[in-house]
């Protein structure tokens, strides 16, 4: 996909990635094109899937989700069916922010935000270990977020 982007497209994406609230006129001025050209290009970038969505980034602690937890999950079987069953079930859990199928000692890594350790303990005991095919979980409580949701470098 990236080979279809020219320098103007890249600059539009970079500006919107830094501040999704920029007006079309502000983006156009920043990348040195007319507002009509900028709007047309931005719409194409949305349509072609370069921009997946525009949304607000919420401060987790302000909404009582200040504890970040990474969970490694090992399934009891490594089959397409067991992966599919797990993936379908994990999508229904609103507290899971990210779920990644990985190679190595774990099958999946989950990124979860909760209010505190007790909140996680309750979710873990009631929902996570009850997911289809889960044999083992390993929990990592994040002590400090050094980099979180960094901008893509392209």
Structural domain boundaries of the chain? 7-48, 60-141
Q: Which residues of 25-34 are buried (b: 16+ CB within 10 A; e: fewer)?
A: eebbebbebe
Q: Does domain 7-48 have CATH number 1.10.10.10?
A: yes
Predicted pLDDT at 4: 86
- 0.85 exceeded by pTM: yes
Q: Does domain 60-141 have CATH number 3.30.70.920?
A: yes
CA nearest neighbour of 66 among 24, 31, 116, 26: 116
Q: Could you state, in chain order, the average pLDDT of each consecutive group of 10 residues for the chain (154 residues)?
A: 82 96 97 98 96 94 97 96 98 97 97 97 96 98 95 92
Predicted pLDDT at 1: 46
**Are the CB atoms for 138 and 71 separated by under 8 Å?**
yes
Cα gap 86→57, rounded to integer Å? 28
Predicted pLDDT at 3: 59
């Amino acid at each position: 996909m990236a080979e279809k982007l020219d320098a103007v497209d890249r600059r539009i994406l970079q500006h919107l990635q830094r501040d999704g609230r920029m007006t079309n006129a502000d983006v156009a001025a920043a990348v040195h094109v007319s507002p009509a050209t900028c709007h047309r290009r931005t719409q194409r970038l949305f349509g072609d899937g370069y921009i997946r969505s525009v949304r607000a980034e919420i401060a987790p602690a302000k909404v009582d989700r200040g504890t970040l937890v990474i969970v490694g999950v090992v399934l009891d079987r490594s089959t397409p069916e067991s992966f599919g069953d797990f993936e379908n079930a994990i999508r229904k859990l609103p507290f899971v922010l990210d779920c990644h199928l990985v190679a190595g000692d774990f099958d999946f890594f989950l990124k979860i935000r909760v209010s505190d350790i007790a909140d996680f303990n309750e979710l873990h005991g009631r929902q996570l270990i009850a997911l289809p095919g889960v044999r083992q979980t390993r929990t990592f409580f994040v002590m400090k977020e050094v980099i979180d949701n960094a901008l893509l470098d392209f």
